[in-house]
Chains A and B, each alone.
Chain A
């Protein structure tokens, strides 16, 4: 071969040189449609979600951070030196939890999350713990002392008899005490008991901080199915439809016919004697109960016209039936100064004092006013949007629709509304949560929501 080349070079013959092969390079020029189609068919297919992909359960929190109630330690004590502590989380922030949270409650500066698991740890608490409302949180630096502020969701030690069988159904938080409802071991109460709100006898000069005491309540006429904490009182609803109360009663919120404190849960009488109550609600000093027939009963503080439809007095200490002609009532929620009910048709009615949700002109009303459904997304284009649940914080309201959207309105105290803005909201406004909101718990200055992801 070499001789041939040399011969060619020597002879100077001008052969046409063989075409230089370009190896693996492809020819340039427009790709024909057939080439494109073949390439497309040969491309690999990626799978991001299988056919049996499940929707995940998530928890989102927002509001005031410094109390630790949001459960994100980096808001209060940043893990990097140059970051500043965050005072307010104005938009929903995802909270990582170990288990699926089935019930959450926001108190005054603290939060309780509970899961219906049969594992040992069923309840987690975070936030203020100066009155042991989150149980005894042993400090890691000194084993004899407890934490005053809990910045991360920490397990609440419950003295259960059968910890691997009992399930926690619901939690509720008040100003400085909390209630945990289990399915077979009654109700556990912890926290401040200076007014008997924990259901045990008031001990003079008791120090509630760093206390190991968790009281168990089992003496009711039937199994307790719902527990509700007011500011300094507790309400228990049993399966038979009766309501028990204990705690501070100066505004008549215990509904027992007197204005003294009660330290043992006592059954309520008055207009709800013999009535099958299906839901109770309270957060401040006023209480509402809904019966299975769709009637609503109220007692407690009426300084803000919450019960002015039946009486002129500012305190009502016996449950009274509220004769509203707005239809059958499905759910009620009580706030500090305003109340909200949801009827069977899906309409939302508000009354009381404060920012009620019908614009800046409606400040107070004693008679329920309906919030137009178009503010919750109802329109001719979407005629089947309905409000499914209503919730109340101390000075704000929340509504959940059947499509999983969350609407909030009211006073935006330290960013508790979660809209991303710091102004008060005078009519229902959507909160953008990346998922379908299943339930929401409202506190004084923070909120917790349980959300299912979209896919």
Chain B
């Protein structure tokens, strides 16, 4: 960044002595650059960069992680207040139960799982979605007896715009090959450990046990996997391109939700 060309130095008018016509010195008005703007005086333009992080992603998970640089930090708070949903791909494994709900934890119990079918899993997911939908409507703090609550419920736009416990807005099974399965979860205000706990509880409901093998965030509000930069692309050019690409989308989203 510091190697990039700088802003041209300011110019000001100085009256400098110069040899005039016929001997003697005269004061001539000349435009010279301000000495204070000289690179050797100023030093490097950027010594520190302010970076802020968006929604947390813990050590055992992977996926989209939003960062803000400089002025983008203010946009980060606005995006947080938009309360947009995040989408995760959660991988699970039947047959084991561990103390921290992931497959690297201490084993608590092993169970059989040959009675588990995709149909039973889908039934459990439907009921999870149903109860979370109810929680969505309840925590959104709207009076259910008004006509506008009815209209928002029809459009599906009701969601909590303040603090609330984790809520799953949609959940579905992407793959099911015993003993592994993969779920896609759309959620609000959650933590990755909560998602692992959900996998554990699904195992319990199915009269077996399950651990979570993978939590991967594939979408965070307006940012999807396609916008995300992998480790090999953490250079100035790609970062600048990425910022440019998403600026418009972030602005429209914030205006739409907060106004």
Contacts and interface: CB of A to CB of B under 8 A. Distances in A.
A44 interface: yes
B153 A375 contact: yes
A148 interface: no
B124 A454 contact: yes
B184 to A, nearest CB: 9
Interface in B195-217: 205-208
Given A425-B144, A432-B134, A360 B150 contact: yes
A203 interface: no
A46 B144 contact: no
B118 interface: no
B120 interface: yes
Interface string A353-364: 000001111000
Number of chain B interface residues as a range: 35 or more
Contacts of A49: 112, 115, 207-208
A157 interface: no
Given A426-B144, A454-B124, A45 B110 contact: yes
A73 interface: no
B151 A359 contact: yes
Contact of A427 (B114, B123, B150): B150
B105 to A, nearest CB: 11
Contacts of A377: 129-130, 133
B145 A424 contact: yes
B119 to A, nearest CB: 10
Contacts of A455: 115, 120, 205-207
Contact of B126 (A375, A405, A424): A405
A82 interface: no
B258 interface: no
Interface string B144-156: 1111011101111
Nearest to B97: A46
Contacts of A44: 110
B126 to A, nearest CB: 5
A40 B104 CA distance: 12
A53 B112 contact: no
Interface string B164-181: 000000101000000000
28 contacts: A39-B107, A40-B110, A43-B109, A43-B110, A45-B111, A45-B112, A46-B110, A46-B111, A46-B112, A48-B208, A360-B146, A374-B153, A374-B154, A374-B155, A375-B154, A403-B126, A423-B144, A423-B145, A426-B144, A427-B153, A429-B137, A430-B130, A430-B134, A436-B123, A454-B120, A455-B205, A455-B206, A455-B207
**Closest 7 pairs between A and B when the two form their complex, measured CB to CB:** A359-B150, A49-B207, A48-B207, A47-B112, A45-B110, A381-B170, A359-B147
Given A359-B149, A403-B126, A423-B144, 12 more contacts: A43-B107, A48-B208, A49-B207, A360-B150, A374-B155, A375-B153, A405-B126, A426-B144, A426-B150, A427-B144, A429-B134, A430-B131
